[in-house]
Amino acid sequence: MRSIKVISAILCLLAPADYAMAQAVDGLAYETIEPSRIALGESATLRVTSFSRLKDVELPIIPGLVFENIGRSQGFDFVNGTAIPATFILIRVTPQFAGVFTIPGLTPNSRSIGLEVVSGDEPNPYTWRSQTPAPPPAPSVSLPKGVQMQAGGAAFVHLAIPTRAIYVGESVPVKIDVGLRPGIVTSVNGLPTLKGSDFTFNNLSKQPERREEAIEGSTFVVLTWHSALAAVKPGDFSLSAETLLTVKISTLSAADRAVASRLAWPLLQSMYNGIAPRDMTIGSSPSELKVLPLPTEGQPENFSGAVGDFYVSSDISPTSVAAGEPLTLRLHISGSGNFDRVDSTMFDHLDHWKTYPAKSSFTPSDAIGYQGEKVFEQPLIAAQPGEQSIPGLEFDYFNPNTRRYERAQTLPINVTIAASLASGSLDGLTGAQSLNSAPKGSTPGLRPDHPPPKNSVSELRPLYFRGPFLAIPTTLALILAGSWFAVRPSAARATSKAAERVLAQLDAAARAGDSSSFFEAARKTLLQTFAARWQMPADQITFEELRARLGTTGEDVERLFALADEARYSNYQPGGTDFQRWLRLIRGQLAGERK
């Protein structure tokens, strides 16, 4: 019982102290992410280290990042050689696309951290834990002149620019070195930036160069970025570079840390060994740069503003074409300088050639586009056949090394222009021997073009095979067929034809002396004719009817009918003249019908 009272008393005495300690360390937490630069498809581990009774943290929601709680553990965090009890929460961070992400603090007093996600297999310059065998010891170097350590000696920034004066428009390379002490600087948050107005900057190189150097007895990882700047106006300017880092910083003074080191109980030590990562911006010392104006004296008329050291060359392809065919003239400008001011004005003096807008392409040979080659492709068309010469192309620029304007010139190029194919040669299309030298008339060739057409048709299909056209003859045929059936043949014509046949038959009978057939056919024909004419049956035509209608002619007709009977029964044979007289009578009666 007594022992229980003693323990209770001790606990009562310790309770205020424990509460005070809890209040003191409450909120003392920091986060780290390893590695801080990963490739797409990999994951990083975000570790929340808390020196208080941290239960759980709320996972942030950041587009492009997936957070997954891995686990929770307890242990000790070693700060300045002192072990401090801590709680660790491990969170897996998986990116969904490349980019630079900022993860806000997961505890109330923690700072945000950065995560850079790259695509592909780009090397990770921030990976300080190499899987390869131990590298050789870093070379010992001294800090460049004018560079000062910052962040408590954990980092520095150095901006290297030309020490000479530069010219307006001149593109000069610059270099930014960022030195970091591994273990103290936990991450580089973003790319360094250049501070300075009246300058234009190229983009920083995508991948910094990385090397390790021993500076003042400590190993530094030095990251180097390259860029190029150009001044837009003359004058004296100041330039500097800066970058944002996350550095582990002790929050206690040296005296407090000495007290803490003397404490034996880790729980009490933790009260005096506060440490936290802190985002801070460190910058380089300002660098002075003098910018001179371009000299006006001797400035060429066609000066485009190109400043640098350039070399030019040219070529053409093909070297032999037919008149009217295109060929391509290429101008290569290589060297170093502001290639963005190199234009195609040198093509403006190509007289006697038909030109089209030139195309250009630039192939840099370094990471910042300060050195490289720019190629202009100029399409040309020769109007006249024969040996043609393309004059040398002139390119004016200012050389800052010699401090004067210079002119680069290409050599003239000779090309062979064959006669146009339209004038009788097919060399260009078949590669055959030239036909131009052959005598005119004996050599076949392409005949010249025709004048512009005036008439045209909507389609090449012949009219026969088009539906709309076929409707025309069809309609015409229908109309004509209808007309043919609609129109009755002429009665007179039909009669006339019958009469002609009968007369021919009578004539034949008369020549043969067949009186019986002659008179019988004559009577039959006349009776049919009179019946048709008088609209009455033939057997009702009497002699009285004949005399009444025909008068004296009726008597002749009556006589003819009587002779028909006589010839039939008495073998009457009239003379040749009689046959002709009766034929005239019959023809006259039939003709009277036609009239």
| Stretch of 340-348, 382-390, 490-498, 580-588 lying at the interface with another protein (CB under 8 A) | 490-498
| Stretch of 38-46, 114-122, 415-423, 511-519 lying at the interface with another protein (CB under 8 A) | 415-423
Residue 319 and residue 382 in contact, taking contact as beta carbons nearer than 8 Å: no
Residue 303, φ and ψ in degrees, nearest 5: -65, 125
Taking the complex as a whole, the smallest distance from the CB of residue 503 to another protein amounts, in Å, to: 17
DSSP 481-543: HHHHHHSPPPHHHHHHHHHHHHHHHHHHHHHHT-HHHHHHHHHHHHHHHHHHHHTS-GGG--H
d(CA 156, CA 148): 6
Helix (H, G, I), strand (E, B) or coil at 450: coil
| Stretch of 53-61, 77-85, 184-192, 417-425 lying at the interface with another protein (CB under 8 A) | 417-425
Residue 88 and residue 72 in contact, taking contact as beta carbons nearer than 8 Å: yes
Give the pair of three-digit tokens for residue 434: 């030239």
Based on the shown chain and the rule CB under 8 A, indicate whether residue 493 belongs to the binding site for another protein: yes
Residue 214 and residue 137 in contact, taking contact as beta carbons nearer than 8 Å: yes
User: Which residue, 100 or 481, has its beta carbon nearer to another protein?
Assistant: 481
Q: How many chain residues touch another protein (CB under 8 A)? A: 56
Residue 103 and residue 45 in contact, taking contact as beta carbons nearer than 8 Å: no
User: Which residue, 35 or 424, has its beta carbon nearer to another protein?
Assistant: 424
Q: Name residues contacting another protein, limited to 340-369 (CB under 8 A).
A: none
From candidates 11, 66, 411, 472, binder to another protein by CB under 8 A:
472
Residue 82 burial (CB count, 10 A):
18
Taking the complex as a whole, the smallest distance from the CB of residue 508 to another protein amounts, in Å, to: 24
d(CA 116, CA 96): 12
Based on the shown chain and the rule CB under 8 A, indicate whether residue 383 belongs to the binding site for another protein: no
Write down the residue that tokens 């880092």 correspond to.
245
Based on the shown chain and the rule CB under 8 A, indicate whether residue 169 belongs to the binding site for another protein: no
Based on the shown chain and the rule CB under 8 A, indicate whether residue 71 belongs to the binding site for another protein: no
Q: Which of 510, 519, 594, 592 is nearest to 557 (CA)?
A: 519
Q: Could you tell me how far CA 366 lies from the centroid of its own chain?
A: 28
| Stretch of 188-196, 216-224, 244-252, 461-469 lying at the interface with another protein (CB under 8 A) | 461-469
From candidates 477, 508, 548, 591, binder to another protein by CB under 8 A:
477
Based on the shown chain and the rule CB under 8 A, indicate whether residue 5 belongs to the binding site for another protein: no
Residue 241 and residue 283 in contact, taking contact as beta carbons nearer than 8 Å: yes
From candidates 484, 537, 570, 571, binder to another protein by CB under 8 A:
484
> H/E element holding 202?
none
| Stretch of 68-76, 300-308, 367-375, 447-455 lying at the interface with another protein (CB under 8 A) | 447-455
What is the pairing mode between strands 353-355 and 371-382?
antiparallel
User: Which residue, 135 or 468, has its beta carbon nearer to another protein?
Assistant: 468
Taking the complex as a whole, the smallest distance from the CB of residue 386 to another protein amounts, in Å, to: 18
Residue 239, φ and ψ in degrees, nearest 5: -125, 145
Taking the complex as a whole, the smallest distance from the CB of residue 446 to another protein amounts, in Å, to: 5
Based on the shown chain and the rule CB under 8 A, indicate whether residue 535 belongs to the binding site for another protein: no
The beta strands (E) that lie in 324-456 are given as 326-337, 353-355, 359-364, 371-382, 386-390, 394-399, 404-409, 413-418
Taking the complex as a whole, the smallest distance from the CB of residue 441 to another protein amounts, in Å, to: 12
- The conformation of residue 348, written as its DSSP 8-state character, comes to G
User: Which residue, 97 or 469, has its beta carbon nearer to another protein?
Assistant: 469
Largest CA distance in the chain: 194
From candidates 100, 267, 432, 536, binder to another protein by CB under 8 A:
432
Based on the shown chain and the rule CB under 8 A, indicate whether residue 461 belongs to the binding site for another protein: yes
From candidates 475, 542, 573, 580, binder to another protein by CB under 8 A:
475
Based on the shown chain and the rule CB under 8 A, indicate whether residue 460 belongs to the binding site for another protein: yes
Taking the complex as a whole, the smallest distance from the CB of residue 491 to another protein amounts, in Å, to: 10
Task: Give the residues lining the site for another protein (CB under 8 A).
Answer: 322, 324-325, 420-422, 426, 428-430, 432, 444-465, 467-469, 471-484, 487, 489-490, 492-493, 496
